[in-house]
Chain A
Amino acid sequence: MSGAVSGKGAAVEVRAVEKRFGNVGIIRDLNLSVAEGERHAIIGPNGAGKSTTFNLISGHIAPTSGEVKLNGDVISGLRPFEINRRGLSRSFQVTNVFARMTVWENVRCAVLWATGHRYAFWKNVDSLPEVRERTARILDDIHLTHRRDVPAGLLTYAEQRELEIGITIASGATVVMLDEPTAGMSHAETDRAVSLIRRLTEGKTLVIVEHDMSVVFGLADRISVLVYGHIIASGTPEEIRRDPKVKEAYLGEEAH
């Protein structure tokens, strides 16, 4: 798996990014490089700045300084929808769906821009075959076909998490970022979600934040460890497991 990494350019590159909220520096000199086709996990204690890193890369917030590149182009400073149109899609740690719309509508909305229908007000949304097929396939993938007509707000927690993934991958983005996709799930649900993620991100670049170490070490080609807004180590699962700084700062904490 990890052999695929070499020889390809960086899909996501974060260079010397700082982020301050007021006087508090939350992200300090952040450097991160995710190769094309790589599955990259970001781990770190609560409040380390993992979600903030996601927000910085996806354009949700702008860095105070430094730059972010997607496939070699600078994207820091762009709006989230501009970054999304360039092929980067992210999910949210706290479920962030369209609550009053049905599961079907949720996924379909996420398909519309990528299929080129944009702001069209002269087309019937129900008679767009490629949109319908893609939506149906994604619902099938996330096992929610039987819930297609239920408003997203009425789904169970685990179902909402799966819908969150479905919306994120619906556009067919080449870079997918998932923020704690399995948080709050039971063991069985986590297993299912992980195999889902593995399958849906086949051939794509994946950046994932995850607290469950068995998931991280089972899924990731490379891992970055974020502590207090700074990446203290980045490498293969084997390298990370052996790294003394990581042991001290993070994995040691897990052990006791």
Chain B
Amino acid sequence: MTTAATSTAKVAADAAGGSLRFYGVWLIGIVVLIVLPMIFSSGGSLTSFSLIGIAIVFALSYNILLGQTGLLSFGHAVHYGLGGFAACHMMNAVVSHGWPIPLPFIPLFGGLGGLMFAMIIGWVMTKRAGTVFAMISLGIGELVASSSLILRSVFGGESGITTDRTALPKLLGWSFGPQLQVYYLIAFWLVLSAIAMYALTRTPLGRICNAVRDNPERVQFIGYDPHVVRYIAFCFAGFFAGIAGGLAAINFEIANSAYLGAIQSGLVLFSTFIGGTAFFFGPILGAILVTYLQLGLTNLTTAWQLYFGIIFIGIVMYAPGGIAGLLMMHRPLIRAGTLWTVIPSYLVAIVPTVALACGVILAIETVARFSGGDAINLFGIAFNPTSPVTWIAAAVLVVGGFVVARLTWRRIAEAWDRAGTVARDRGYLA
């Protein structure tokens, strides 16, 4: 009993110290969102930030399924897209009926659109987890995406449904014509949704979702129906995906079948997985990185999807915890004070690993541009894709880089072993 009492006291003390740090992180996030457009105020940056904000909400909603409940969906964009369409129709209805609903409330209707579909389709979908759920989600995704081209009155066919966000009633004098105002609207909903989704993980339902993810069988023997748990999680994921879709509809002033499709579903899976599903902030990192890669790479190379594929495979094989997993792996080392023993091995590994990456890039671009004959510009050096010199350079970099890089990776593993042993001895690693 006394141990129980002291452990309760310890929990309370931990909570007090932790809550300070906890609110600090959220406050910093909000401040960053506010000042970001003041530092980077170009039109291009504002557009990027807006897209990233939408992608974060979308990826966080996806992680309610993947990371928290263990449901792998290949059709999450359905809720995003339907949210987008719901938002567009709502905006047009507000304008034509003269309802007093200003633009900042519109994403809520997007959310309701995503939620509604999740509530209708979810009960059947979440009966089983695993492969069955994954396959049904794929089927539903394709079904909805193809219906969107057939049901023209609702989805507007090929051209989609357009809208004019500035035609809605103004709020505090904001017309939401300028991208800056749209950015702040997205940032507002991002903060609101992220807080709500984080709070969800800290509720009885959120914890039982984790239990269903880990062991759906045992959950039944502690009083819970895993089907109900999955269904509620699915509805929440649909709701927040719908909010993201509504934000996208506001941002682009259009919703079309591309919102609902397999590419969009794949992209959110990709972002969430790369960011890391085991931590709440993982999908945030993933969404930022993937959106930047998407914006940056599409300008640089026609083979950008190939790079996405390579990154994805690399993460799946070498860092299944994603970026967040890689970062958080170091927490016990930091606590044990042994982080400095692994850093040198990282620095040594950078050189051959970058060489290897350059070789791979050179090889891919050579193949991609061979017939076109455009020069490859890598770090300011121009390579001719039809010249054997380029091929040899690529081969040397790939083979040489790989051989040397493997040696340095082994050194990282050794350094990790040593640091990990110390951390374990000091009780920071289980």
Question: Is the CB–CB distance between A58 and B221 below 8 Å?
Answer: yes
Q: Which residues of A contact B224 (CB under 8 A)?
A: 81, 113, 119
Chain A: minimal CB distance from B356 (Å): 33
CB within 8 Å of B: which A105-137 residues: 105, 108-110, 112-114, 117-126, 128, 132-133, 136-137
Q: Which residues of A contact B35 (CB under 8 A)?
A: none
Question: Is the CB–CB distance between A100 and B214 below 8 Å?
Answer: yes
Q: A167 contacts the other chain (Cβ, under 8 Å)?
A: yes
Tell me the complex Cα distance, A170–B223, Å. 11
Q: Which residues of A contact B211 (CB under 8 A)?
A: 98, 101, 105, 109
Q: B419 contacts the other chain (Cβ, under 8 Å)?
A: no
Beta-carbon nearest neighbor of B196 in chain A: A121
Question: Is the CB–CB distance between B221 and A97 below 8 Å?
Answer: no
Given A96-B217, A99-B214: A145 touches B4 (CB 8 Å cut-off): yes
Question: Is the CB–CB distance between B221 and A121 below 8 Å?
Answer: no
Q: A26 contacts the other chain (Cβ, under 8 Å)?
A: no
Tell me the complex Cα distance, A223–B124, Å. 45
Partner of B203, one of A89, A101, A124: A124
For B, the interface residue count at a CB cutoff of 8 angstroms equals 36
Beta-carbon nearest neighbor of B15 in chain A: A126
The total of interchain contacts (Cβ-Cβ below 8 angstroms) comes to 125
Question: Is the CB–CB distance between A97 and B218 below 8 Å?
Answer: yes
Question: Is the CB–CB distance between B225 and A79 below 8 Å?
Answer: yes
Given A139-B7, A140-B4, A145-B3: A123 touches B203 (CB 8 Å cut-off): yes
Question: Is the CB–CB distance between A89 and B221 below 8 Å?
Answer: yes
Question: Is the CB–CB distance between B208 and A119 below 8 Å?
Answer: yes
Q: A4 contacts the other chain (Cβ, under 8 Å)?
A: no
Tell me the complex Cα distance, A60–B219, Å. 12
Write the B37-78 contact mask toward A (1 if CB under 8 angstroms, else 0): 000000000000000000000000000000000000000000
Tell me the complex Cα distance, A60–B236, Å. 29
Given A121-B200, A136-B4, A145-B4: A110 touches B206 (CB 8 Å cut-off): no
Q: A150 contacts the other chain (Cβ, under 8 Å)?
A: yes
Question: Is the CB–CB distance between A80 and B221 below 8 Å?
Answer: yes
Chain A: minimal CB distance from B1 (Å): 7
Question: Is the CB–CB distance between B221 and A90 below 8 Å?
Answer: yes
Q: Which residues of A contact B232 (CB under 8 A)?
A: 119, 121
Q: B430 contacts the other chain (Cβ, under 8 Å)?
A: yes
Q: B11 contacts the other chain (Cβ, under 8 Å)?
A: yes
CB within 8 Å of B: which A62-105 residues: 79-81, 84-85, 89-90, 92, 96-101, 105
Q: Which residues of B contact A100 (CB under 8 A)?
A: 210, 213-214, 278
Question: Is the CB–CB distance between A148 and B7 below 8 Å?
Answer: yes
Q: Which residues of A contact B210 (CB under 8 A)?
A: 98, 100-101, 105, 109
Q: A151 contacts the other chain (Cβ, under 8 Å)?
A: yes
Chain A: minimal CB distance from B171 (Å): 28
Given A79-B220, A133-B8: A121 touches B225 (CB 8 Å cut-off): no
Partner of A80, one of B15, B200, B220: B220
Tell me the complex Cα distance, A99–B278, Å. 13
Q: Which residues of A contact B206 (CB under 8 A)?
A: 121, 125
Chain B: minimal CB distance from A126 (Å): 6
Question: Is the CB–CB distance between B221 and A112 below 8 Å?
Answer: no
Q: A213 contacts the other chain (Cβ, under 8 Å)?
A: no
Partner of A151, one of B1, B200, B207, B430: B430
Given A80-B220, A81-B221, A119-B229: A97 touches B215 (CB 8 Å cut-off): yes
Q: B204 contacts the other chain (Cβ, under 8 Å)?
A: yes
Question: Is the CB–CB distance between A81 and B223 below 8 Å?
Answer: yes
Chain A: minimal CB distance from B153 (Å): 36
Question: Is the CB–CB distance between B1 and A171 below 8 Å?
Answer: no
Give A residues with C-beta under 8 Å from B. 58-60, 79-81, 84-85, 89-90, 92, 96-101, 105, 108-110, 112-114, 117-126, 128, 132-133, 136-137, 139-140, 145, 148, 150-151, 154, 167-168, 170-171
Q: 28 A-B pairs, CB-CB below 8 angstroms?
A: A58-B221, A80-B220, A81-B224, A85-B223, A92-B218, A96-B217, A97-B215, A100-B214, A105-B207, A105-B211, A109-B211, A112-B208, A119-B204, A119-B205, A121-B205, A121-B206, A122-B203, A123-B204, A124-B202, A124-B203, A125-B204, A125-B207, A126-B202, A133-B8, A136-B7, A139-B4, A167-B218, A168-B221
